[in-house]
Amino acid sequence: MTDKKTDKRRVALLTGITGQDGSYLAELLLSKGYEVHGIIRRSSSFNTGRISHLYANTKTHTMGGMILHYGDLTDSTNLVRIVSQVKPDEIYNLGAQSHVKVSFDLAEYTANVDALGTLRLLDAIKTCGMEHHVRFYQASTSEMFGKVQEIPQTEKTPFYPRSPYGAAKVYAYWIVVNYREAYNMFACNGILFNHESPRRGETFVTRKITRAVAKIHLGLQDELQLGNLDSKRDWGHARDYCEAMWMVLQHEKPEDFVIGTGEVHSVREFTEKAFQHVGISIVWEGEGDTEVGKDKNTGKVIVRVNPKFYRPTEVEYLQGCADKAHKLLGWKPKISFEGLVKEMVEADLALMKEDPSA
């Protein structure tokens, strides 16, 4: 993709490129002809598994259209250096400590990365004098709605975060709005509801379920332990949602958008659907902490509630209203809930067959 005015190849900079969304977004931007730069953290083992297929030479990790830089959202100097070197047209701030349950244990760190990290990146743009050139996307979240004040949730619904993660993301949301208003920056929030894929982190509930379904089906695991079975989410596919991120930055004006499917399912339903794909019907018995799910055919317990996975404060119900994105961006999700569950179960079956210890 080239700039209409200068005819130069467009340059995008992504934080969180090694995460689920970063990998889909990098693919999308490369397919559109962007030069894609990503910030990766130093790690003692490879953390580039989700993007290794995007190297020019996957065997030697040789970079091509995708260029990686070591960095961290907690390090301002480094962010200034990268922004000044890369001179991006678009920045997508996807980097975060993104696990809600973990944010209760790592509350200060989560605030440092998710809240102050966003401020650091916005300030780096200003320090480099690029505030009137760069378009900035912030990965905001439905977790900001938390204890929901209305159903469904729109761009106008008041926030009521229920975790250190949600509270940190509320700060990030408002600092983006403030920089847009104070410095006339093209800075936008995409308020995305849960989105999943075969690349979803292994400890988020959908992936935890599809991995366990594959392992139980193949005889590699006996049971799946879950927390709150009755929390409800508006689950979409990460590929669809990354397209929305790009669309937000191509819009004529910097605005905030809710992105969701409008369809709601419980953790219990997700579990039932996933097991159905391997021919297992679940019957539930008991209540609360002692509830179990049994294989209807064999009577064996294959799902068990474990209070260890409860959160100190829970978000019970989320349902996004993406009317504004439908109308102004022409965005619509393409992958259904059924399609998402099927794709995730099939991918995990293939993975576990190839590598049972995965």
Our answer to whether residue 210 is catalytic in this structure is no
The region of 97-105, 152-160, 249-257, 292-300 touching ligand GDR under the rule CB under 6 A is 97-105
Our answer to whether residue 137 is catalytic in this structure is no
**Residues binding ligand GDR: what is the number (CB under 6 A)?**
22
Q: What would the two tokens of residue 222 be?
A: 């006996």
Our answer to whether residue 143 is catalytic in this structure is yes
| Closer to ligand NDP by Cβ: residue 205 or 302 | 205
Q: Where are the alpha helices (DSSP H) in 298-357?
A: 323-324, 337-354
**What's the Cα-to-Cα distance from 136 to each of 123, 188, 214, 230, rounded to whole Å?**
12, 6, 39, 36
- Please report how close the Cβ of residue 119 comes to ligand GDR at its closest, in angstroms: 18
**What's the Cα-to-Cα distance from 256 to each of 193, 209, 299, rounded to whole Å?**
14, 32, 49
Q: Are 93 and 118 in contact (CB under 8 A)?
A: yes
Contact positions with ligand GDR (CB under 6 A) in 127-166: 141-143
Contact status: 120 vs ligand NDP (CB under 6 A): no
- Of 15, 23, 93, 98, which one interacts with ligand GDR (CB under 6 A)? 98
Q: What does the DSSP assignment read for 132-194? A: TT-EEEEEEEGGGT-S-SSSSB-TTSPP---SHHHHHHHHHHHHHHHHHHHH--EEEEEEEPP
- Of 233, 237, 268, 277, which one interacts with ligand GDR (CB under 6 A)? 233
User: What is the rounded distance in angstroms from the CA atom of residue 358 to the CA atom of residue 354?
Assistant: 9
Quick count: other Cβ atoms within 10 Å of Cβ 69?
15
**Residues binding ligand NDP: what is the number (CB under 6 A)?**
26
Q: Are 316 and 234 in contact (CB under 8 A)?
A: no
Q: What would the two tokens of residue 350 be?
A: 């293939």
Contact status: 113 vs ligand NDP (CB under 6 A): yes
- Please report how close the Cβ of residue 89 comes to ligand GDR at its closest, in angstroms: 26
| Of 118, 141, 206, 271, catalytic | 141
| Closer to ligand NDP by Cβ: residue 43 or 306 | 43
Residues that bind ligand GDR (CB under 6 A): 98, 100-101, 141-143, 193-194, 203-205, 208, 226-228, 231, 233, 267, 309, 311, 314-315
Active site residues: 141, 143, 165
